[in-house]
Structure 1
Amino acid sequence: MNFLAHLHIAEHTETSFVGNFLGDFVKGNPIGQFDVDIVQGIRLHRFVDSYTDQHQLVKLAKPLFAADLRRYAPIALDMFWDHFLAKHWSQFHDLSLGDFCRQAQLQIELESSREINAFPEHFKKISTLVWQERWLESYQKIENIQYALARMSLRSVRMAPLALTGETLVKHYQRLSEIFFELYADLLDKTAAYVTGRG
């Protein structure tokens, strides 16, 4: 799951928006680095990533990618899940996607203003771009997911093949869509159980 799903799950579980957004930018044990609510959000983010990567449905999706692209499948799939969530947002939330994004931005700004510890510079940069360029709303179009993957592939020579994964997402769009609905419903249940201590 990518930024949009993590923020939706933050609201679904009534946990920190900042923590759930911050998960990819913090290494090691977050205890002592941030407020306890943010730490809980970071841990939930990590649970989501781990649970998703190991999910049987995701294991079924990975072979849809060519053998030489399979190592990049988790990144491409994370982007695709956010695309499908954005595209079918009205099935998961009463607010419009735009209104939710504005609400999430305000919540993150509020939580950030209360945190006395400094956030990673890369997180602050990406967070600014997400809201200024309306990344989450742009996820509604698969072409923007392909563009994002192509941009990510430019980070290093090793990441170059990532640019080709967008073609797989389009080719197997229907099958991946079917997987998403089952996967995300299960994930919403599991994250609620995780936060309440039942998972």
Structure 2
Amino acid sequence: MNYLAHLYFSDPEPLAWSGSLMGDFVKGAVPAALPDELSRHVKLHRHIDHLTQTSELFQISCRRLDPRFRFARSVLVDVFYDHFLACRWDEYSDQPLADFSQDVYRGLQSCYPYLSPGLQQQLPRMIQYDWLTSYRKVETVQKVLQHLEERIQHKIPLAAGFSQLELWRAELETDSIAFMLEAQQVTTAWKQIH
């Protein structure tokens, strides 16, 4: 659910944004019919997901959280990191987050025929509730966790995971800053060879 981070690391154009989000919806082989740039960013999404699974910095954040959340700790950290990215956006980009978000929404709409059915279904809500900009608000983090808890097949109390943000906020935010540096280096290197 770290949509904002995936969008931040993608190239700033509609097909790239579309691919960076479709990585959560396209399973298995990337369809050959997709435009090259969209396909490339589905693969970049997967590369970033692999980084989060293997990064020691990311794992440090996961280990901070209560063990009762088990495998869902990585989901919680993904959501928390997007919150921190939104809060600190001005340190990462010259473009205001609200403007970036509107550019992304317009770009996704322009690529609508290429979007996976799941993303097509989600896009109107994403725009209506301005998901990307709203990640700055802790209330949004609570809502996202509640929504994920309702969707998830394994009954993990994700909504209760919000307490971990309150408990570990300073440490998690410091972790996220270090992780963003690592992810920037990894994605830049990946883009140079793909």
Q: TM-score, normalised by structure 2?
A: 0.92
Match of 1:173 among 159, 169, 173: 169
State the number of aligned residues: 194
Equivalent residues in 2 for 1:1-199, closer than 5 Å: 2-11=2-11, 16-112=16-112, 115=114, 119-156=115-152, 158-197=154-193
CA contact (8 A) 1:62 1:70 kept: no
- Structure 2: stretches of 5+ with no match in the other structure: none
Shift in Å, 1:23: 0.6
In 2, Cα distance between equivalents of 1:157 and 1:36: 33
Change (3 A) 1:85 1:112: same
Change (3 A) 1:92 1:23: same
In 2, Cα distance between equivalents of 1:68 and 1:4: 27
Q: Which amino acid aligns with 1:124?
A: Q
In 2, Cα distance between equivalents of 1:131 and 1:13: 17
Shift in Å, 1:157: 6.3
Deviation by residue 1:138-195 (Cα, 9 ceiling, x = unmatched):
1101232022101211225623411211111210000000001110011011101101
Change (3 A) 1:157 1:196: closer
Shift in Å, 1:28: 0.7
In 2, Cα distance between equivalents of 1:13 and 1:76: 28
CA contact (8 A) 1:72 1:165 kept: no
**What secondary structure sits across from 1:25 in the alignment?**
coil
Q: Which amino acid aligns with 2:96?
A: S
Shift in Å, 1:103: 1.0
- Structure 1: stretches of 5+ with no match in the other structure: none
CA contact (8 A) 1:12 1:188 kept: no
**What secondary structure sits across from 1:190 in the alignment?**
helix
Shift in Å, 1:70: 2.5
Shift in Å, 1:13: 9.7
Change (3 A) 1:160 1:52: closer
Shift in Å, 1:42: 0.1
**What secondary structure sits across from 1:159 in the alignment?**
coil
| Greater displacement, 146-155 / 81-90 | 146-155
In 2, Cα distance between equivalents of 1:191 and 1:128: 29
Shift in Å, 1:33: 4.0
**What secondary structure sits across from 2:136 in the alignment?**
coil
In 1, Cα distance between equivalents of 2:153 and 2:48: 29
Q: Which amino acid aligns with 1:188?
A: Q
